[in-house]
Amino acid sequence: MLLEPIFWSLFSLGGFITAFLFPVTLFLLFFAAPFHLWPTDPAAYSTFGGHWKEPLVRLFFFVLIGGSLFHGTHRLKFMLMDAGFKGRSAEAFLDVILNGVAIFGSLGALFYAVRGWLF
Amino acid sequence: MAASDVVFRVKRYRPESGGRPTFQEYTIPYRSDMVVLDGLNYIKDHIDPTLTFRWSCRMGICGSCGADVNGQPRLTCGTYVRDVHKGAVTVEPLSNFPILKDLVVDFDDFLRKLASVTPYIVRKDWGDLTKEYVQYPEDVEAYRQQSLCINCMLCYAACPVFGSSPEFVGPAASALALRYNRDTRDEGADARLARLNTRTGVWECTFVGECSVVCPKDVDPAAAIQTLKFLATMRHMRRLLMPGSSSR
Amino acid sequence: MPMTSREYAWKRRPGWWLRNRRYLMFQLREAGGVICALYGLVLLNMLVQLRAGESAYTAFLDLLRTPPVLYLNVVLFALVVWHALTWFMLIGKAQPIQFTRQPLPWKVVFGINVLLWLGVSGAVVYLIFGGI
């Protein structure tokens, strides 16, 4: 069965998620404090750990991680195919590995998002 | 070389002698109003009658004179030498196609792909052929843009995906599939989407977008393919969730 | 593809994406998408370290802030921003779902998306990171 329509849908959804949410998140977590561009350090353990108690924040990071993984692995698949990783078996191999990373990564994010909240 | 001359570097391939294609240079008189095709015709008429290239209408509608001019796929009849002239004008056969001779490429493969999307109105029942199938201006507007395609294949020459996967159905065939799917008289949409919803169909496209850049008729095949991906996904999901539902 | 033996077969050159600027920008855009997945894994690891406790989390954060990693991050961040901007362009250029009778010019859709992006980013600052 052709799975591409399903993975393309997730890829597109992930494209919207990463485009709209990634730049601001990465800026706040990775650059705001080291470059002194922000009054506080949003990534500090006490600050981030404090926000992490809120369900909305957990949902946000689950969506962000899942979306970016489905988006990026799909693009990586086509970049590798373009670079010469071709043929039915090569494509099946890429599908299993890359979609596996996306699926297990999303499940992992879901696990940490509900851990300590729902159970 | 006189100030009013221009150098044409033309790729030559002689099938009878084998070997690799090579460049041949011709110095010809320059006029500010000449197009690249005029230069090729000057060479054929006055310098080298063995130079082989396709052309017909000289007005950008027959779609037969496409070539890579300075590395970019263009209609040679619609490309002024003054716009591309940087020391020399390099003319090569369209990228991504096997070369038959000089600038003439083999596009049988493209014609097979075109045929695979049934680029004509399909009906289950033609009914009473003495009456008209009425279309209003907005019905025509729905597919007008894609219907402007002249099958010149510049989009295939610009597509790096087609360059590495020759089995990819490609930009023009996809755009024409959308053109007929949007026609209110047509009933073949489901079969076309089924053809395009395959490994060699629209899913190979990575939206490089160069097909739409080089298209001389503004057909915008890149956008057409993304629309088809969306329509193919809808069809796919509908069939997964409601296997009993009829087509369309 | 079946070919007669006298035809000259075409082979795409490996460096095709250096042939013009648009191809290069396309490759950078695709790379930006892949980088997003890489950051997805980094964020996932952040959650793992957060769960493991303060010392593990802080050690990971310090590693991210050592100069080589930090400057690598700046380069990769530029690709992520390029990915976001190109995504807004692509939405304008494709528009599989139209909200208006005639498709809007892609630059208009791009502009709307950038404004929306700024608004969403502001909302993320307040809703997710507790404001300034």
Tell me, letter by letter, the H, E, C secondary structure of chain C: CCCCCCCECCCCCCCHHHCCHHHHHHHHHHHHHHHHHHHHHHHHHHHHHHHHCHHHHHHHHHHHCCHHHHHHHHHHHHHHHHHHHHHHHHHHHHCCCCCCCCCCCHHHHHHHHHHHHHHHHHHHHHHCCCCC
Does any domain span residue C52? yes
Q: Which pair of tokens denotes residue A26?
A: 């990465």
Query: Rounded to whole angstroms, how far apart are CA atoms B1 and B7?
Result: 9
Cβ burial, residue A95 (10 Å; 0-12/13-18/19+): middle
Does any domain span residue B93? yes
**3-state class (DSSP) for residue A111:** helix
| Phi, psi for B114 (deg, rounded to 5) | -60, -45
Q: Are residues B138 and B18 in the same domain?
A: no
Among chain C residues, the shortest Cα distance to A113 is held by: C47
Strands (E) in B3-96, as ranges, are 5-12, 22-29, 66-69, 72-75, 88-92
Residues of C in contact with B95 (CB under 8 A): 10, 12
How far off is chain B from C10, nearest CA to CA, in Å?
5
Write out pLDDT tens, residues C75-113.
Answer: 999 999 999 999 999 998 887 777 777 778 889 999 999
Tell me whether B195 touches chain A (CB under 8 Å).
Answer: no
Q: Which of B48, B77, B105 is the last residue of a domain?
A: B105
For chain A, give every domain's residue range: 4-114
How far off is chain A from B72, nearest CA to CA, in Å?
21
Q: Are strands B5-12 and B88-92 parallel, antiparallel or unpaired?
A: parallel
Query: Rounded to whole angstroms, how far apart are CA atoms B104 and B116?
Result: 24
Among chain A residues, the shortest Cα distance to C85 is held by: A19
Does any domain span residue C9? no
Query: Rounded to whole angstroms, how far apart are CA atoms B140 and B179?
Result: 10
B3 pLDDT exceeds 70?
Answer: no
Q: Tell me what the pLDDT averaged over chain A comes to.
A: 93
- CB nearest to B203's CB, from A8, A82, A86: A8
Write out pLDDT tens, residues B39-97.
Answer: 999 999 999 999 999 999 999 999 999 999 999 999 999 999 999 987 799 999 999 99
Q: Are residues B96 and B121 in the same domain?
A: no
Does any domain span residue C42? yes
Does any domain span residue B246? no
Q: Give me the pLDDT at residue B132, please.
A: 85
Total number of domains in chain C? 1
Q: Which of B64, B79, B105 is the last residue of a domain?
A: B105
Write out pLDDT tens, residues B174-199.
Answer: 999 999 999 999 999 999 999 999 98
The CATH number of residue C54's host domain is 1.20.1300.10
Q: Collect contacts of A45-48 with beta carbons under 8 A, ≥24 apart.
A: A45/C50, A45/C54, A45/C57, A45/C58, A45/C61, A47/C130, A48/C50
Q: At what angle do helices C67-94 and C54-64 cross, to 10 degrees?
A: 80
Does any domain span residue B27? yes
Domain enclosing residue C47, as ranges: 16-127
Q: Using 50, 70 and 90 to split pLDDT, how confident is the model at B245?
A: low
**3-state class (DSSP) for residue B59:** coil
Total number of domains in chain B? 2
C1 pLDDT exceeds 60?
Answer: no
- A97-101, B48-52, B241-245: which has the minimum mean pLDDT? B241-245
Query: Rounded to whole angstroms, how far apart are CA atoms B245 and A85?
Result: 38
Tell me whether B238 touches chain A (CB under 8 Å).
Answer: no
* CB-based contact A5 B236, cutoff 8 Å: yes
Q: Which of B105, B132, B155 is the last residue of a domain?
A: B105
- In this structure, CATH architecture of domain A4-114: Up-down Bundle (1.20)
> How much is the average pLDDT of B198-211?
95
- Phi/psi zone of residue B130: left (φ > 0), alpha (ψ -120 to 50 degrees), beta? alpha
Q: Give me the pLDDT at residue B248, please.
A: 45
Does any domain span residue C71? yes
Query: Rounded to whole angstroms, how far apart are CA atoms A105 and A84?
Result: 26
Query: Rounded to whole angstroms, how far apart are CA atoms C36 and C79?
Result: 9
Q: Are residues B228 and B124 in the same domain?
A: yes
Does any domain span residue B247? no
Q: Are residues B169 and B155 in the same domain?
A: yes
The CATH number of residue B93's host domain is 3.10.20.30
Domain enclosing residue B59, as ranges: 5-105
Compute the Cα dihedral for A10, A11, A12, A17 and give only its sign.
positive
More confident call, C132 vs B54: B54
| Phi, psi for B126 (deg, rounded to 5) | -75, -15
Terminal Cα distance for chain B, rounded: 64
Write out pLDDT tens, residues C3-37.
Answer: 556 899 988 888 899 999 999 999 999 999 999 99
Among chain C residues, the shortest Cα distance to B21 is held by: C8
Does any domain span residue B26? yes
